[in-house]
Amino acid sequence: MKEKDLRVQDIGEFALIERLVEVLGPASRGAGQGVIRGIGDDAAVLQNNPGTRLLASCDMLVEGMHFDLSYFSPRQLGWKALAVNLSDIAAMGGRPRWALVSLGLKPELKVSFVEEIYAGIAELAGDFGVIIVGGDTCSSPERLVIDICILGEAYRSEVAYRSGAREGDLILVTGKLGAAAAGLAYLREGGKAEIDGSEELRQAHLKPVPRVKEAAILIHSGMVGAMNDISDGLASELHEIVQASGCSARIWAERLPISQATALMARHMGADPRDWALYGGEDYELLLTIPGEKGSPLKARKLGRSLMKITGTPLNFIGKILPVSGAVEIVQSDGEIEPLLPGGYNHFKK
């Protein structure tokens, strides 16, 4: 049998794991990365830095529900599965360190396909110094399933909770919003729309870059109150912060950072780019608050400039935290104030 025709069922679990470790290369070893024992025993043995707290999160992606293999290459899928997890650690203000990868695979999948998933994981892991220390592979006859558990660390003073927003805080967001939803709409339409910046939108959906470096700079400023990553849409994430913090929020529609490509794609699709920004989700930008006392707009601009200079990522002021509990409002372009409902992505709901 030719190497390129080899399927998972031809080589079995143990040989597959050996090949995947090979693909990971340095991303499976981690000398000096706190890895005392990685893949190859009943559990990984790890050493976090003294005095740090441990951060742990997991995200499961299911074929046809979270991703479509008609436009996702296996390498992009591996990248994205890890990226959404790194984003969770960034949102806590931490450094991602180790990951465990569980894969449910169709037995007839090509070995080279699974290796490509791992190549995507290894690529992103390499960019952020993350080591793959364990996982599981098993048979899933109908759909590819990939579940990654990420472990990170942060010193106590670095951890940013959802509950850290206070009355008067400014609400900021990194990057641009709605690009991932615009990219998804473009891909679902077959990638045929000829629009300036369509490649940027495609990448926003297929290969989001987690804001790990941005989070570190923001946390280092000492100004961050609450922080969330935008996985389910800005509206939904802002509601989470407001609920956890016992306050309310008001944002301005005109201040939503929307790229030109997103606006063009929305016009082409007959969609509202603000809907994508508010409800689209999967942007994996950071939504955060900083104190709103006198002089803070100036400080926010300074922070934004230094973030842009170091990472190339913009930081935009979009709203304010208000007293009273629970509500989120949006000020429309005409000055009308409307309630902003959560309405982000909700699994299972019909």
Kindly identify the residues of this chain, within the stretch 65-84, that bind its own copies according to CB under 8 A: 65-66
Q: Given the rule CB under 8 A, which of 99-107, 116-124, 198-206, 304-312 is the region that contacts its own copies? A: 99-107
If the CB atoms of residues 107 and 222 are measured against its own copies, the closer one turns out to be: 107
Q: Give residue for tokens 């990939």.
A: 146
Number of residues that bind its own copies (CB under 8 A): 75
| Interface with its own copies (CB under 8 A), residue from 6, 19, 33, 62 | 62
Distance of closest approach, residue 12 Cβ to its own copies, in angstroms: 4
If the CB atoms of residues 140 and 316 are measured against its own copies, the closer one turns out to be: 140
If the CB atoms of residues 57 and 262 are measured against its own copies, the closer one turns out to be: 57
Distance CA 24, CA 5 (A): 21
Q: Is 55 in the site for its own copies (CB under 8 A)?
A: yes
Contacts of 285 (CB under 8 A, 6+ apart): 173, 174, 175, 176, 177, 211, 229, 230
Q: Is 228 in the site for its own copies (CB under 8 A)?
A: yes
Q: In the numeric block, which tokens belong to residue 332? A: 């429309």
Q: Give residue for tokens 């709203």.
A: 319
Contact 219, 95 (CB under 8 A): no
| Interface with its own copies (CB under 8 A), residue from 24, 122, 124, 159 | 159
Q: Is 281 in the site for its own copies (CB under 8 A)?
A: no
What is the amino acid identity at position 323?
P
Q: Which string of x and - marks every residue 285-324 that binds its own copies (by CB under 8 A)?
A: ----------------------------------------
Alpha helices in 246-334 (DSSP H): 260-269, 273-275, 296-311
Contacts of 160 (CB under 8 A, 6+ apart): 91, 92, 93, 215, 219, 224, 225, 226, 227, 288
Q: Give residue for tokens 């290459």.
A: 73
Binders in 8-27 for its own copies, by CB under 8 A: 8-9, 11-14, 16
Distance of closest approach, residue 86 Cβ to its own copies, in angstroms: 11
Residue 281 gets the label, from left (phi > 0), alpha (psi -120 to 50) or beta, of left
Distance of closest approach, residue 69 Cβ to its own copies, in angstroms: 15
Q: Given the rule CB under 8 A, which of 21-29, 92-100, 116-124, 274-282 is the region that contacts its own copies? A: 92-100
Residues paired with residue 252 on neighbouring β-strands, in sequence order? 331
Binders in 229-258 for its own copies, by CB under 8 A: 229, 244
If the CB atoms of residues 46 and 195 are measured against its own copies, the closer one turns out to be: 46
Distance CA 261, CA 304 (A): 22
Q: In the numeric block, which tokens belong to residue 28? A: 């499976």
CB atoms within 10 A of CB 54: 12
Q: Given the rule CB under 8 A, which of 130-138, 264-272, 308-316, 333-341 is the region that contacts its own copies? A: 130-138
Max Cα-Cα span within the chain:
71
Distance of closest approach, residue 222 Cβ to its own copies, in angstroms: 19
If the CB atoms of residues 39 and 303 are measured against its own copies, the closer one turns out to be: 39
| Interface with its own copies (CB under 8 A), residue from 27, 118, 128, 147 | 147
Distance of closest approach, residue 298 Cβ to its own copies, in angstroms: 29
What is the amino acid identity at position 20?
L
